[in-house]
Amino acid sequence: MSHRILVVDDETHILQVLSLKLRNSGFEVSTAVDGEDALRQAIENPPDLVITDIQMPYMNGIELCNALFENETTTHIPVVVITARGHTLAASETDIANVQEVISKPFSPRGVAELAISILANISTQRSERPEAA
């Protein structure tokens, strides 16, 4: 079974490039152009990973991370945050349990795909190492 990734960005070309690279890496990909749509999609059909831009209309990436973490259906979903060049985030903004990594634009789509593979492999390993519930 392939992992599902939700990519969130209001820039269409970034959605297209990331989606193509992730699909070519074997992932099932869905997209959203803002945080509100992403949250709705994640609650209705939780992905294995969310990759989100910070600066978006309606609900920004940090608000999305917080909303995902606060919802019991989506609290377990790891998130990769993408920031614009020159946009710095305070440590408190990304000190959310579900934020796994922060990367800056411009980025390598291949690097993002490799990061997704690594994060999902680590999560799969952690789940398989947990003792079974009695």
How would DSSP label each residue in 22-68? HHHTT-EEEEESSHHHHHHHHHHS--SEEEEESS-SSS-HHHHHHHH
Question: Rounded mean pLDDT of 94-100?
Answer: 72
> Are 51 and 5 within 8 A, CB to CB?
yes
Question: What pLDDT does residue 129 have?
Answer: 60
> Are 53 and 8 within 8 A, CB to CB?
yes
* C-alpha of 121 from chain center: 15
Q: Which of 25, 50, 30, 6 is nearest to 109 (CA)?
A: 25
- In sequence order, the β-bridge partners of residue 49 are 5
> How far, in Å, CA of 127 to CA of 134, rounded?
16
User: Under CATH, to which class is 4-129 assigned?
Assistant: alpha beta
Q: What is the pLDDT of residues 6-58, one digit of tens each?
A: 999 999 999 999 999 999 999 999 999 999 999 999 999 999 999 999 989 88
Whether the per-residue pLDDT at 133 is higher than 60: the answer is: no
Q: What is the pLDDT of residues 65-81, one digit of tens each?
A: 999 999 999 999 999 99
> Are 115 and 103 within 8 A, CB to CB?
yes
Boundaries of every domain in the chain: 4-129
Question: What pLDDT does residue 127 have?
Answer: 61
> How far, in Å, CA of 84 to CA of 126, rounded?
31
Tokens of 5: 């990734």
Name which residue leads in pLDDT, 95 or 59: 59
Query: What pTM does this model have?
Result: 0.86
